[in-house]
Structure 1
Amino acid sequence: MLNTKLAIVKHLSEGHSIRAMADKFSISKGTVQAAKENRESILNEAERNHSLSKARIVKQCEVNVILWRWFATARARGYPISGPILQVKARQIASELGVEGGDFSASEGWLHKWKERNNIRSYKISRESGNVDLERAEQWKSTLKSLLLGYDLKNVFNMDEMGFFFRALPD
């Protein structure tokens, strides 16, 4: 409704008639006349609302940026970061920035959208590759080939890709 009143005030200041505004917005002439008489209060209210919403958006953007930097650093160090951890950290950052509770809530919906915006997917962090001795792995490959010589290929399985652990819990 405030946007409509602002548009009416703008058009009236450009010289449009009250009748033309009433027809354009499909409202009564009395409503347009009231907007004309309350021009200053409408402009003041719009400025207050704009300033508050802009300040809230800026602070929320700061929370998002700071949280992303923290997340990237923690993930680079190999720490597993879950959704609840992100929510707690976001609330902590928001309180440090002085964002009021009503202005920011690290809800499930916020978290989902934050992950989408930052292209974050949940996956298992494997630390195995950093601990592998590449020289021994190459030796094992040659040893494995000699061990498999007596078997048909149809009898050789990669247990990582087979369904032999159908009763095991997922990891």
Structure 2
Amino acid sequence: MEPEKKKRKLVDVNTKLAIVKHLSEGHSIRATADKFGISKGTVQAAKENRESILNKAESNHSLSKARIVEQSEVNVILWRWFASARVKGYPISGPILQAKAKQIANELGVEGGDFSASEGWLHKWKERNNVRSYKISGESGNVDLERAEQWKSTLKSLLLGYDLKNVFNMDETVFFRALPDATLNHAKQSCNGGKQ
């Protein structure tokens, strides 16, 4: 009866790096193979390719570090924009945030494959910044009285020639294309909308 062949085990760069480190600490090939549960041939190959493994690990580390730096820049700039927009009373939704994040990433030159303003990214961004979705309660802001007086005189001239029975108060029906009535907001701030 033939002895069973061991299945080849794929070893990632981090494991190869750990193997190289273990060998450099003075451990034998056999001891290293036993520790990592791999064949002596795999350990021998890692030993022979030590330089390329170290170079590959360093380049992977640099790439991931660069991505983190670029993405954190996007997050910081997005937070500043978000805070500024909310102070002005603009309602901000998830899709608006995602579009703005993509715009910021493009302006910073972050490559498309390195940054994606996905639903998962949005969820994590909101958690990190303690941002929640709220229904906007009421309007805030001052009415421009001068402009309101101008509108009264303009309205009178627009109504000339119409019988009063054909003049209706439409009030809020003109808001069918208005801004959303819910917004993302920092959890510890009041959530009021601006004037429609």
Would you say same fold, with TM above 0.5? yes
Change (3 A) 1:26 1:92: same
User: Which residue of structure 1 aligns with residue 44 of structure 2?
Assistant: 33
Change (3 A) 1:142 1:19: farther
2-structure distance, mates of 1:141, 1:126: 28
* RMSD over aligned Cα atoms: 9.0
Change (3 A) 1:128 1:147: farther
Deviations 1:40-93 (A, max 9, x none): 000000011000010001100111111001000100111111111101100010
Instruction: After TM superposition, give the deviation of residue 170 of structure 1 in Å.
Output: 12
Change (3 A) 1:139 1:119: farther
2-structure distance, mates of 1:68, 1:22: 49
What is the identity percentage for the equivalent residue pairs of Structure 1 and Structure 2?
A: 91
Contact 2:91–2:179 (8 Å) recurs in 1: no
Equivalent residue of 1:122, what SS?
Answer: strand
Change (3 A) 1:128 1:152: farther
User: Which residue of structure 1 aligns with residue 178 of structure 2?
Assistant: 168
The counterpart of 2:83, out of the listed 72, 86, 93, is 72
Structure having the higher helix fraction is 1
**TM-score (norm. length: structure 2):** 0.65
Deviations 1:136-155 (A, max 9, x none): 99999999999999999999
Instruction: After TM superposition, give the deviation of residue 128 of structure 1 in Å.
Output: 3.5
Contact 1:78–1:125 (8 Å) recurs in 2: no
Which ranges of structure 1 fall in alignment gaps of 5 or more residues? none
Counterparts in 2 of 1:86-165, with a 5 A limit? 86-128=97-139, 130=141
Change (3 A) 1:156 1:35: farther
Change (3 A) 1:141 1:116: farther
Structure having the higher strand fraction is 2
2-structure distance, mates of 1:49, 1:137: 62
Deviations 1:101-159 (A, max 9, x none): 11101111111111111111111334545559999999999999999999999999999
Deviations 1:8-67 (A, max 9, x none): 101111111001000000111000000000000000000110000100011001111110
When the two structures are aligned, how many residues end up with a matched partner?
167
Change (3 A) 1:77 1:127: farther
Higher RCO structure (Cα 8 Å, ≥6 apart):
2
Once the two structures are overlaid, the 10-residue window that deviates more, 14-23 or 121-130, is: 121-130
Contact 2:91–2:180 (8 Å) recurs in 1: no
